[in-house]
Amino acid sequence: AGRVIIEPSSEKGRIKLLSIERSTGVPRYRGRIEIAQGDKGLIIVNELPLEEYLYAVIPSEMPTYYGLEPLKVQAVCARSYAYRHLMANSLSGYGAHVDDSVSYQVYNNIEENEDSILAVKDTYGKVVEFDGEIITAYYFSTSCGHTTSVEYVWANGVATPYLSGRLLSVEEVDSQDAMSERNSIYSDLTKEENFRSFILDQNYDTYDSAFSWYRWYVTIETSDIKNIINEKLAGRYRANPELIKTLVSGGPLDQDALYESQPVETVGDIVNIFVGTRGIGGIIYELIIEGSERTIKVQTEYNIRALLSPSKDTVYRQDEDGVDSLSLLPSAFFFIDNNMEDGKLESISITGGGYGHGVGMSQNGVKSLSDAGKKYEEIIKYFYKGTDIGFIYE
């Protein structure tokens, strides 16, 4: 099939796509635009060098006012992430390597600027490596004070040394002395009581403590949860049948052997909701939802955040700012209090921390480490344990 190729007349020229709106208006593109006919409409591909692509990824993924050092961290991680996708070539059917959404990395939602260009140029060709291989540099917005390990987030996630959870305690980094008593308790947040006291502890400093999404809470009426679950359950089951299991025989609700994967559309009225298992850092890996018609076990953070979506309720952040209409809970680092009335579950209160999946690097944590005087290579090695900085253009 033929492609229409549009190129700017000069090196400094940019191409505008007038039918596309991004957060700063109509985006302008470097490089060339290729247009092809696809099954469902036009396929539009922007072809340009990797380094120039990064100019418009950095500001779309991190506020540029964070300063040059955090932007350099973001540049090295974004380059590593993009390079892995170049090699994987999973969008070859479209004649592309990545798309411009959160499925890969957000591109050109906010235009490149002097700072983003400088961060890319200052780290030209640099990537994060582990054992000589370029890593998948996962990152997210804000931690709850502890990151998690990759195997607790994605069903196909394989335990990886550089993507293992760690406590982001300010104290631990500043002193090499024996860890304080709280540090040792907070190093194991798989225990419910440890996790709860960690989330409620207002006098414990981590590198994300100062940011508004560090702590949040929401109360959701049982009727809202029932409606959301009934709305989303069949779709989540279709997407991941092995991660939504139904209780098929009597016994303790937390016993895995009693559940099996089968099509499910409703649980009926909500009787009880509780945590089945927590992973490293306290992330909920299994949530059990007991209904009047059936009981289900939901696995992995995305499914859990989707089925307890606070879309009808206000989520309050630690600065008391309320946020409405979220389609997912901010994170799966939370605990639940069931509010009963006359023996019936009326609502659940969810108290949690952080925003995003919690694997790899916290972008707001990067800002704090930079403010504490750390340089970009040091910050990268802090989040991705055992890694080195490599170079892709030999």
Confidence (pLDDT) at 223:
94
Q: For residue 298, is it within any domain?
A: yes
pLDDT for position 179? 55
| Whole-number pLDDT of residue 106 | 84
Whether residues 218 and 338 share a domain: the answer is: yes
Q: What pLDDT sits at residue 173?
A: 46
- Are 222 and 287 within one domain? yes
Question: Within this chain, do residues 33 and 74 fall inside the same structural domain, yes or no?
Answer: yes
For residues 333 and 282, the answer to whether their CB atoms sit within 8 Å is yes
133 shares a domain with 26: yes
Residues 343 and 217 in one domain: yes
CA-to-CA separations, 192 to 197, 279, 284, 317, 335, in angstroms, rounded: 9, 11, 10, 22, 8
294: exposed, middle or buried (C-beta count within 10 Å: 0-12, 13-18, 19+)? middle
Residues 341 and 380 in one domain: no
| Together in a domain, 25 and 129 | yes
Please check whether residue 184 lies inside any domain of the structure: no
**Is residue 344 located within the same domain as residue 383?**
no
Alpha helices per DSSP H over 131-186: 170-174, 181-186
Say if 186 falls within a structural domain.
no
Q: Is residue 145 part of a domain?
A: no
369 and 344 within one domain: no
pLDDT of residue 178: 46
Q: Does one domain contain both 12 and 132?
A: yes
Residues 210, 211, 214, 218, Cα dihedral to 10° = 120
Assess if residue 45 is contained within a domain. Answer: yes
Q: Which helix (H) or strand (E) holds 265?
A: none
For residue 55, tell me if it sits in a domain: yes
Closest to 112 measured CA to CA, from 141, 75, 73:
75
Per-residue tens of pLDDT for the chain, all 394 residues: 588 999 999 988 998 988 888 888 888 888 898 999 988 899 999 999 999 999 999 999 999 999 999 999 999 999 999 999 888 888 888 888 888 888 778 887 888 999 999 999 999 999 999 999 999 999 999 999 999 999 999 988 889 999 999 999 997 544 545 457 788 889 899 999 999 999 999 989 999 999 999 999 999 999 999 999 999 999 999 999 999 999 998 888 888 889 999 999 999 999 999 999 999 999 999 999 999 999 999 999 999 999 999 999 999 999 989 999 999 999 999 999 999 999 999 999 999 999 999 999 999 999 999 999 999 999 999 999 999 999 999 7
Structure confidence at residue 251 (pLDDT)? 80
Helix-then-strand count for the chain, H and E? 10, 20
Mark whether 224 and 246 lie in a shared domain: yes
Question: Do 310 and 383 fall into the same domain?
Answer: no
Counted domains in the chain:
2
Domain coverage including residue 21: 3-137+360-391
First vs last Cα of the chain: how many Å apart?
35
- In this structure, is residue 66 part of a structural domain? yes
122 domain residue, yes or no: yes
